[in-house]
């Protein structure tokens, strides 16, 4: 059996990309003639098509802040898709890659902020799942790929804002735990994937309760495997 402290010590964070600042400077120079005030936001490096590609949120002055990609060349820097058609912004954010798909949150103007996915092409970019049906959206955030599962926080009318998981199809989406029962939202923070020295990847996140200290939860991507980190450490051996 592992103690809670021992369990936490087993896990180490993934290495961070070290060239984000340089890539942002290069891309900013490449798009300066389009709209020097557009701004490069949510810069994320992926390998969707084997070669490194940088995805980002950029406002070209015509389409609003939308999904762009760059291979750090002028020819390879382009608008992927106008997610919310016209001058309004789809504002893609919270990027994560799982397999050969990029996942992110965006607003198409009809469904509110929801989970989208892309293979790096316009035709292969679309809404993945409408968690909270209607214009209000689910405020999807904390999108994290971990252990072959995509995790994210999202809100619906029945459960409020809670952590969820999906395996690449709308039908596979599942609520992990209605931690703050009913329509009241949980205050979720510090979401991160940790991989043990044995190669086991789990998602850790903190939940703040009103007038109480934060508590840490851990999930393997299933409702039954989503528990208080202390309870998992006491009852399960990794």
Within-domain flag for 108: yes
Average pLDDT over the chain, rounded to whole?
90
Domain that holds residue 60: 18-186
What is d(CA 93, CA 98) in angstroms, rounded to the nearest whole number? Answer: 15
User: According to the model, what pLDDT value does residue 230 have?
Assistant: 86
User: According to the model, what pLDDT value does residue 1 have?
Assistant: 38
Give the global pTM: 0.87
In the chain, the percentage of residues whose pLDDT exceeds 90 is: 82
Residues 6+ apart with CB under 8 A from 153: 139, 140, 141, 142, 161, 162, 163, 164, 188, 191
Give 116-141 pLDDT, tens digit per residue: 999 999 999 999 999 999 999 999 99
**Matching residue, tokens 């003639």:** 33
Give 172-195 pLDDT, tens digit per residue: 999 999 999 999 999 999 999 999
Within-domain flag for 113: yes
Within-domain flag for 193: no
Q: How confident is the model at residue 238 (pLDDT cuts 50, 70, 90)?
A: very low
Q: Beta partners for 65?
A: 59
pLDDT above 70 for 11:
no
Within-domain flag for 170: yes
Total domains, the chain: 1
Within-domain flag for 214: no
Within-domain flag for 140: yes
Q: What is the 3-state secondary structure (H, E, C) of 17-52?
A: CCCHHHHHHHHHHHHCCCCCCCCEEEEEEEEEECEE
Within-domain flag for 179: yes
Q: How confident is the model at residue 19 (pLDDT cuts 50, 70, 90)?
A: confident
Name the residue among 154, 233, 138, 142 with its Cα closest to residue 193. 142
Q: Report the chain's terminal Cα–Cα distance, integer Å.
A: 8
Within-domain flag for 100: yes
pLDDT above 70 for 231:
no
Q: What is the mean pLDDT of residues 103-127?
A: 97
Question: What are the E-state strand segments in 38-98?
Answer: 40-49, 51-59, 65-70, 78-81, 93-98
């Amino acid at each position: 059996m592992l103690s809670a402290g021992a369990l936490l010590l087993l896990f180490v964070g993934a290495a961070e990309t070290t060239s984000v600042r340089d890539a942002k400077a290069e891309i900013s120079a490449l798009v300066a003639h389009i709209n020097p005030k557009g701004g490069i936001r949510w810069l994320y490096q992926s390998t969707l098509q084997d070669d490194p590609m940088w995805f980002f949120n950029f406002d070209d002055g015509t389409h609003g802040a939308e999904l762009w990609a760059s291979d750090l060349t002028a020819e390879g820097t382009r608008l992927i898709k106008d997610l919310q058609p016209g001058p309004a912004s789809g504002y893609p954010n919270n990027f994560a890659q799982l397999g050969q798909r990029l996942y992110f949150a965006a607003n198409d103007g009809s469904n509110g902020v929801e989970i989208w996915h892309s293979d790096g092409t316009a035709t292969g970019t679309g809404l993945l799942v409408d968690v909270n049906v209607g214009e209000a959206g689910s405020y999807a955030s904390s999108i994290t790929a971990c252990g072959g599962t995509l995790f994210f926080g999202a809100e619906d009318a029945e459960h409020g804002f809670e952590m969820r998981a999906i395996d690449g199809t709308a039908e596979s989406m599942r609520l992990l735990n209605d931690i703050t029962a009913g329509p009241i939202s949980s205050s979720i923070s510090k979401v991160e994937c940790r991989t043990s020295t044995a190669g086991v990847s789990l998602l850790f996140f903190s939940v703040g309760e009103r007038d109480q200290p934060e508590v840490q939860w851990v999930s393997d991507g299933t409702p039954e495997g989503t528990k208080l980190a202390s309870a998992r450490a006491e009852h399960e051996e990794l």
